[in-house]
Amino acid sequence: MTSTQQNYVNGEWSDSENGETFECTDPAAPDEVVAEYQRSTAADVESAVEAAADASEEWATMPAPQRGAILREAAANLAERKEELTQLLVREEGKTSGEAGGEVQRAIDIFYYYAEKTRDLGGSRKSASSAGTDLYTVDQPVGVAGLITPWNYPIAIPAWKMAPALATGNTVVLKPAELAPGTALALAGALDEADIPDGVVNVVTGKGSELGPPLIEHEEVDAVSFTGSTEVGQQVYQSATDAGKRAQCEMGGKNPTVVGESADVEQAADIVANGAFGVTGQACTACSRAIVHESVHDEFVDALVARAEDIDIGPGDEYDMGPQVSESELEGTLDYVDVAEQEGATLETGGGQPEGEHLGDGYYVEPTVFSGVERDFRIFQEEVFGPLVSVTEVADFEEALETANDSQYGLSASIVTNDHEEAERFVHEVESGVAKVNAKTTGLELHVPFGGFKQSSTETWREQGDAGIDFYTIQRTVYDEF
């Protein structure tokens, strides 16, 4: 029997005002319903924001280590449910078991991390110019935070927004993506079991187009944090800032890996394949452009094709690569395959839907490699949210760097090289918020800043680590002359 999940508002599990629900299905078996969720309305958002506003003062004035103790207990609650949440993530989003388990662990680690950070919150003492003056700063929460998160990391991204917001004394209203909201509700459940005060955490499910505007524009919401597409993110940022709110938006990517003349080709193929085909290419940091020196180009293409063709595709609990999250995402990837062929790129492998009895009607696509991709091709310039990587040949490092930077996006970039001077120049001159040497474009540490340049970010505030704390706090300077 299909379970029906409720919103979490003001410390209670409740149905939406209109009583309507929607279904989430398994992308590996679209006829199988995973769960039903509340199709919330603007009125439900209103209730959630009011609850968060009412709880704001009590939570803000609670000693930070006490808030940390609640986050720590929530992390332990998540850890107890790790296997259950891993399987939910596999069924709702399509990740493999290994990928899903890693993401759940990431959420657990984030809550533990910010639980410990609460011990260091408060402000700093400064030296005054006159005797008898005590000069210091006080960090205080911004207030109510509206969080809007995507489907591709449906527990990790809500965690890395929610945990620093709560640690610093803010209350939150979370609107998770409609395609995979189950694990986001599990975060609320873990905090509820940890006895977080009513109204501090609120989660409402439903369509972003219907719930986003009333959340972003509500007069009681003080800060807005969004992760998703560039098109939507720009609209969110405009609406939030027009309403005078603090806002951060992390958006799309078109991430390059440069393969230098001195690169170990086998290593380079591993790095690009892992970055391009992991999580079915459905990561904003996924590698979608391989920019390869002409001296190793042919060897690299052969090695990358071999790795793509060695990937076993199927349901996430048994295979190397799972399905795309929805039919529309699958169609989008297949459309780009057609576009690439029309533009004159060479299809080296993949490009279609795999066959096999175990695949059923799932939203599967083959890992795809195109060579002969020029810089003005759409698959070079536009984000393809699927396991598709383009290969562009270059004559030298200067051309490689110029080619890597020829994009409206600037989220993550990497280089594979044994030339230290090239590596140093790359990390200083590449136009991206994350730069890696001899590593894949995906994969982030939780204690360092994350964010992009150009159209990948609003470039206002970074996420994670101390940067996450900065976004959710504002400083007061105190002069005490007793």
Residue 316, classified by CB atoms within 10 Å of its CB into exposed (0-12), middle (13-18) or buried (19+), is buried
Contact 172, 145 (CB under 8 A): yes
Catalytic annotation, pick one of 24, 249, 284, 287:
284
Cα–Cα–Cα angle for 408, 433, 145, nearest 5°?
Answer: 100
Segments in 81-180 forming alpha helices (H)? 82-93, 97-117, 156-167
Q: Which helix (H) or strand (E) holds 332?
A: helix 327-343
Q: Look-up: residue for tokens 């991206």? A: 432
Q: Please list the residues that pair with 102 across neighbouring strands.
A: none
284 is an active site residue: yes
Tokens of 185: 């509700």
Which residues are CB-contacts of 356 (< 8 A; sequence separation ≥ 6)? 313, 314
Phi, psi dihedral angles at 9 (to 5 degrees) = -135, 125
What is the 3 state secondary structure string of 211-258? HHHHHHHCCCCCEEEEECCHHHHHHHHHHHHHCCCEEEEECCCCEEEE
As a whole number of angstroms, the distance between CA 302 and CA 41 comes to 52
Neighbours of 228 (CB within 10 A): 22
Number of H helices, E strands in the chain: 15, 21
Residues with active-site annotation = 284
